[in-house]
């Protein structure tokens, strides 16, 4: 398998030049690599590690003796290319190199990073692992997104924009190669002039203490840029299969990489054009409405999972959840790969059917914006049903089945069927959906619930159990757990992203403002300084006290009492030049609105203990509104109710194994689309 193996020390400069393609032997990405996934906190944390002198890990690069494919590092799409026989492929370290490129150049398309040259590096009391904790200790490194170019930064004159570092450092590269210590001594003496050379906006006059901090920091930048201290492991491998093997072993030996990512890496190894084909499918399945494209229901990994599961059932009569690399090996794996390549064609019958479902959901689903909140793995079942169902051949014939799909997405999400019952439910629901499609039936919302009751006694798995709707408290708990999903239905919020159209953007707002909850207090036996919360104060966070409100209106009225907030809403709705959610789409009845106004009036005096009448009225209206909105969902989509533990639903045995190959409508094994042969 392995020939050449050596380890060399590289500088940050060398890695950035390899990323930019400045070197003769530039690097490409091995097909097993993912898209960039690091956020700005991880990038700042990497820079902090370099400034502190901590190691940042070994990178791994390989070249392959037999023909293989790569992803160009600088590609703007996901098209794979044939690898050069002597070309190097980055096998591990892509995220770190992308981070360095984004930090130190103008080409990273990930905003700008500002480094304080006067603030001391915070000393941590110990290792930090959470994003919030890391963000707190990185306050001397700021990040400005592309949309924040004009944002005012406090003490901006003491920061340098690191995107100019590469240009400045390369202008001094010859001096550094000849005598790095001499260059460091020069920039320490002329620290202010050097910093202005890196960033024209640095204009601080430094005292002795600040000058010492700045001199140490720019020296450290120079040394991490020019000194070779990052190990790079070079390997020579026999075949693309060896690349996948090394990647799998490497990432199953301590580095956190999801199993789905390893599976995708395996697919790309056997099928170099997989990423492009899935990207084209994603475009096809992106809903289009009157305001243009809407957010896609499925990401590329989601589409791959749906198609692989269909391929496995067609080729091997078995599911592949959880996704495991070994299912793609052997004769059965070859059949799965062959079928997968054909199913991913945008001109296939299943692509047309899935597109019809995506279009109708984006335009006509009763869940509207709530589609953003459904359990992502439930899409497998509804799109698999559409892919195999003749009902999905046209949008008109499919429209009659949309309520069944809506009911399933809402019910299985709200009652957490997958979260409670696990992968066994995923496999069972997939089988029922495919069997119904092949039998010419509608989406089997009620049957999935009935079979689940037969498969899982008392709808229990381990220590978890599906929720009941027996008592009022059960129903309020269900509503509060699914607030945004229920409000989307109650207020008729259309499916869109929050940034599709600023005229339609909204915020989730508290009707009685959270910022005024301090008024809900009771006297304390410990004295006047202590103001314990009223026992009903927690209802501020209940779904009955939430609504979707026009973003501009919310920014102006978020801390106002309900009466003032309603008055603003009425005035805005009367202005045609000020689009917003109309009073009729607030999800409030007239009596509920009156009660919220009265609560605000009774709690106006925050210096007095909370009025008991107000708190009783507040808890009552919040609870009644939550129950009303939940009941409206049950009335709009009656099949949702059968997913509750206490629903009068009879258990049923599972359906026979579906025979789905004939439902594809064509043979998918012609030579043009065969994988791995």
Tens of pLDDT, residues 331-359: 888 889 888 988 999 998 999 999 999 99
Q: Of 84-98, 612-626, 639-653, which gets the smallest average pLDDT?
A: 84-98
Instruction: Report the pLDDT value the prediction gives residue 525, as an integer from 0 to 100.
Output: 74
Give this prediction's pTM.
Answer: 0.72
Q: Please give the pLDDT value at position 124.
A: 63
DSSP-assigned letters across all residues of 419-463: HHHHHHHHHHHHHHHHHHHHTTPPP-HHHHHHHHHHHSGGGEETT
Which band of pLDDT confidence, cut at 50, 70 and 90, is reported for residue 470?
Answer: very high
**What integer best gives the mean pLDDT of the chain?**
86
pLDDT tens-place string over residues 591-608: 999 999 999 999 988 778
Mean pLDDT of 492-496: 86
Check whether 105 has a pLDDT greater than 60.
yes
Between CA 546 and CA 488 the distance in angstroms is 11
Find residue 8's DSSP bridge partners. Answer: 232
- Least confident span in 89-98, 139-148, 196-205, 634-643: 139-148
CA atoms within 13 A on the CB side of 75: 18
**Band (291; pLDDT cuts 50, 70, 90):** low
Q: How confident is the model at residue 577 (pLDDT cuts 50, 70, 90)?
A: low
Model confidence over 188-222: pLDDT tens digits?
999 999 999 999 889 988 999 999 999 999 999 99
Higher pLDDT, 572 or 528: 572
* Sheet containing 81-82, strands listed edge to edge, beginning at the edge strand earlier in sequence: 2-10, 230-237, 59-64, 88-92, 27-30, 69-71, 81-82
In this predicted structure, which of 3-17, 89-103, 409-423, 572-586 has the lowest mean pLDDT? 572-586
Rounded to an integer, the average pLDDT of 100-117 is: 88
Look at residue 576 in the predicted model and tell me its pLDDT: 58
Answer yes or no: is pLDDT of 186 > 80: yes
- In the chain, what is the straight-line distance between the N-terminal and C-terminal CA atoms, in Å? 21
Alpha helix segments (H runs only) across 317-401: 330-343, 349-364, 379-388, 395-399
Asked if pLDDT for residue 610 goes beyond 90, the answer is no
Sign of the alpha-carbon dihedral angle for 125, 126, 132, 134: positive
In the chain, where are the structural domains located? 2-232, 258-468, 479-643
pLDDT at 575: 59
pLDDT tens for each residue of 387-398: 999 999 999 999
Say yes or no to pLDDT of 673 above 60.
Answer: no
Q: Which residue has the tokens 């199993």?
A: 259
Long-range contacts of 536-539 (CB under 8 A, 24+ apart): 536/615, 536/616, 536/618, 536/619, 537/615, 539/618, 539/619, 539/622, 539/623
Place of tokens 């693309």: 240
Report the pLDDT value the prediction gives residue 86, as an integer from 0 to 100. Answer: 83
The number of helices, as runs of H, and strands, as runs of E, in the chain is: 26, 16
CA distances from 561 to 344, 466, 564, 593 (A): 54, 38, 6, 12
* Cβ burial 219-258 (10 Å sphere, 16+ → b, else e): bbbbbbbbeeebebbebbbeebbbbbbbbbeebeeeeebe
Whole-number pLDDT of residue 129: 56
- Beta strands 112-116 and 159-161 are antiparallel
The residue-averaged pLDDT of 224-239 equals 92
Range from 30-44, 71-85, 556-570 carrying the lowest mean pLDDT: 71-85
CA 293 to chain centre: 19
Residue 260 has pLDDT above 90, yes or no: no
E-strand stretches of 300-341: none
Lowest mean pLDDT of 41-55, 290-304, 565-579, 643-657, name the range. Answer: 565-579
How many CB atoms are located within 10 Å of the residue 171 CB? 10
677, pLDDT greater than 60 = no
> Which pLDDT band holds residue 491 (cuts at 50, 70, 90)?
very high
Q: Is the pLDDT of residue 672 over 50?
A: no
Higher pLDDT, 541 or 288: 541
Q: Please report which confidence band the pLDDT of residue 572 belongs to, taking 50, 70 and 90 as the band edges.
A: confident
Q: How far is CA 240 from CA 35, 244, 647, in A?
A: 19, 6, 53
**Residue pair 267/328 in contact by the 8 Å Cβ criterion:** yes
pLDDT of residue 500: 46
Q: Checking DSSP bridges between strand 59-64 and strand 69-71, what pairing results, if any?
A: unpaired
Predicted local confidence at residue 130, as pLDDT? 67
Closest CA to 415 of 476, 472, 468: 468
CB 564 within 8 A of CB 557: yes
Instruction: For residues 310-331, give the mean pLDDT.
Output: 85
Query: Confidence band (pLDDT; 50, 70, 90) for 674?
Result: very low
Phi, psi of 534 (to 5 degrees): -65, 145
């Amino acid at each position: 398998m392995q020939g050449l193996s050596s380890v060399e020390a590289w500088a940050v400069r060398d890695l950035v030049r390899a990323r930019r393609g400045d070197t003769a032997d530039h690097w490409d990405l091995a097909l097993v690599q993912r898209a960039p996934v690091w956020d700005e906190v991880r990038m700042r944390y990497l820079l902090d590690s370099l400034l502190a002198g901590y190691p940042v890990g070994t990178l791994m690069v390989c070249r392959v003796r037999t023909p293989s494919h790569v992803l160009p590092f600088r590609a703007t799409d996901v098209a794979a290319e044939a690898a050069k026989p002597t070309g190097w492929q980055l096998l591990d370290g892509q995220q770190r190199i992308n981070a360095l490129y984004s930090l130190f150049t103008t080409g990273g398309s990930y905003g700008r990073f500002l480094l304080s040259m006067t603030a001391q590096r915070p000393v941590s009391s110990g290792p930090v692992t959470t994003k919030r904790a890391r963000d707190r200790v990185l306050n001397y490194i700021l990040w400005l997104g592309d949309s924040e170019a004009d944002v005012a930064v406090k003490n901006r004159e003491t920061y340098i924009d690191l995107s100019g570092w590469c240009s400045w450092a390369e202008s001094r590269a010859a001096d550094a190669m000849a005598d790095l210590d001499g260059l460091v001594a020069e920039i320490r003496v002329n620290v202010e002039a050097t910093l202005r050379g890196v960033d024209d906006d640095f204009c601080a006059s430094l005292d002795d203490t600040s000058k010492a901090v700045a001199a140490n920091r720019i020296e450290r930048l120079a040394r991490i840029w020019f000194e070779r201290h990052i190990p790079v492991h070079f390997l020579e491998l026999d075949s693309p299969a060896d690349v996948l093997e090394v990647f799998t072993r490497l990432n199953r030996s301590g580095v956190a990489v999801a199993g789905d990512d390893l599976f995708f890496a395996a697919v790309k190894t056997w099928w170099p054009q997989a990423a492009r084909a899935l990207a084209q499918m994603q475009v096809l399945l992106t809903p289009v409405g009157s305001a243009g494209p809407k957010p896609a229901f499925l990401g590329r990994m989601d589409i791959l999972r749906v198609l692989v599961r269909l391929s496995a059932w067609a080729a091997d009569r078995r599911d592949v959840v959880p996704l495991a690399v070994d299912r793609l090996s052997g004769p059965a794996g070859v059949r799965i790969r062959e079928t997968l390549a054909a199913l991913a064609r945008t001109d296939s019958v299943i692509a047309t059917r899935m597109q019809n479902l995506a279009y109708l959901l984006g335009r006509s689903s009763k869940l509207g914006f709530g589609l953003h909140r459904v359990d992502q793995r439930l899409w497998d079942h509804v799109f698999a049903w559409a892919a195999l169902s003749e009902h999905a051949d046209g949008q008109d014939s499919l429209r009659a089945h949309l309520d069944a799909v809506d009911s399933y997405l809402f019910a299985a999400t709200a009652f957490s069927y997958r979260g409670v019952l696990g992968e066994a439910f995923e496999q069972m629901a997939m089988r029922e959906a495919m069997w119904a499609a092949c039998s010419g039936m509608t989406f089997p919302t009620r049957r999935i619930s009935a079979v689940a009751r037969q498969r899982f006694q008392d709808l229990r798995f381990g220590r978890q159990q599906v929720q009941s709707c027996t008592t009022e408290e059960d129903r309020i708990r269900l509503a509060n757990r699914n607030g945004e999903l229920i409000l989307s239905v109650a207020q008729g919020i259309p499916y869109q992203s929050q940034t599709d159209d600023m005229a339609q953007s909204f915020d989730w707002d508290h009707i009685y403002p959270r910022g005024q909850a301090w008024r809900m207090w009771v006297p304390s036996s410990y004295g006047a300084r202590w103001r314990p919360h009223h026992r009903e104060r927690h209802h501020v966070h209940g779904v009955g006290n939430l609504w979707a409100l026009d973003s501009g209106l919310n920014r102006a009225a978020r801390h106002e009492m309900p009466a003032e907030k309603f008055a603003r809403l009425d005035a805005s709705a009367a202005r045609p030049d000020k689009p917003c959610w109309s009073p009729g789409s607030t999800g409030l009845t007239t009596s509920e609105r009156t009660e919220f106004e009265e609560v605000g009036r009774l709690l106006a005096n925050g210096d007095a203990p909370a009025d008991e009448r107000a708190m009783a009225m507040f808890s009552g209206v919040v609870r009644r509104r939550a129950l009303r909105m939940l009941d409206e969902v049950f009335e709009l989509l009656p099949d949702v109710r059968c997913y509750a533990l206490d629903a009068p639903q009879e258990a049923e045995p599972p359906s026979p194994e579906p025979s789905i190959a004939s439902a594809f409508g064509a043979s998918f094994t012609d030579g043009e689309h065969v994988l791995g042969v």
